[in-house]
Amino acid sequence: MLALDAVGDPTRRKILETLFDGEKSSGEIVSRFNISAAAISQHLKVLREANLIQVRVEGQRRIHSLDSTGWKEIQDWLDLAKRFWEGRLNALERELKANQRRKERDLK
């Protein structure tokens, strides 16, 4: 679950959020943070390894954009979690409604 581990870090999440607006050069990404370029470079490496971003070279610039591969891993995990909770929440809703009907019946 590299992708989920990668998005666990707030700086990496903010980097991803900057890329939601479109591709950015390494310099553009660095300029949005108050940490060193070397630290941002390490975060970008983690995001690339998790397949959340991709990079292409344009002359001397590195252009970063989102990569759908890692996002699928996250979506698959969220779908599992959703199925888990939906069933339990639906059961809770049924029980609460049944309990409410019993109370209303007892009041009559």
Q: Which two tokens stand for residue 65?
A: 């954009």
* Position 29 in a domain: yes
| CATH code for the domain in which residue 34 is found | 1.10.10.10
Q: Is 39 contained in some domain?
A: yes
Q: In total, how many domains does the chain have?
A: 1
Q: Is 103 inside any structural domain? A: no
Q: 24 lies in which domain range?
A: 3-69
* Entry pTM: 0.77
The 10 Å Cβ neighbour count of residue 104 is 9
Taking only the tens place, the pLDDT of each residue in 40-52 is 999 999 999 999 9
Residue among 39, 34, 32 at smallest CA distance from 16: 32
- Each residue's pLDDT tens digit, 69-108: 999 999 999 999 999 999 899 999 999 999 999 988 888 7
